[in-house]
Amino acid sequence: MRVQSSATEPITIAVGGKPNTTAGTLVAALGVVAFSLTFPATAWGLEGFGPWSLVGVRSVLAALIAGSCLLALRVPVPARRHWAGLAVVAGGVVVGFPMLTTLALRTSTTSHAAVVVGLLPLTTALFSALRMGTRPSRTFWAAALAGAAAVLAFTVQQSGGSLTSADLYLFGSLLVCAAGYTEGGRLAKVIPGWQVVGWALVLCLPFSVPATVVALSYEPVHLTAHSVTGLLWVAAGSQFLGLVVWYRGMAMIGIPKASQLQLAQPLLTLVWSVLLLGEHLTVAAPLTAAAVLVCIAVTQRARG
Distance between CA atoms of 106 and 182, rounded to whole angstroms?
Answer: 28
Query: 174, 111, 122, 127: which is closest to 147 by C-alpha?
Result: 122
* pLDDT of 18 higher than 70: no
Segment 171-196, tens digit of pLDDT: 899 999 999 988 988 888 888 878 98
* pLDDT of 11 higher than 70: no
| CB proximity list for 112: less than 8 A, separation 6 or greater | 155, 158, 159, 166
Residue 9 per-residue DSSP state? S
Segment 84-114, tens digit of pLDDT: 999 999 999 999 999 999 999 998 888 888 8
pTM of this prediction? Answer: 0.80
Segment 227-259, tens digit of pLDDT: 999 999 999 998 888 888 888 888 888 877 787
* pLDDT at residue 59, rounded to an integer: 94
* pLDDT of 7 higher than 70: no
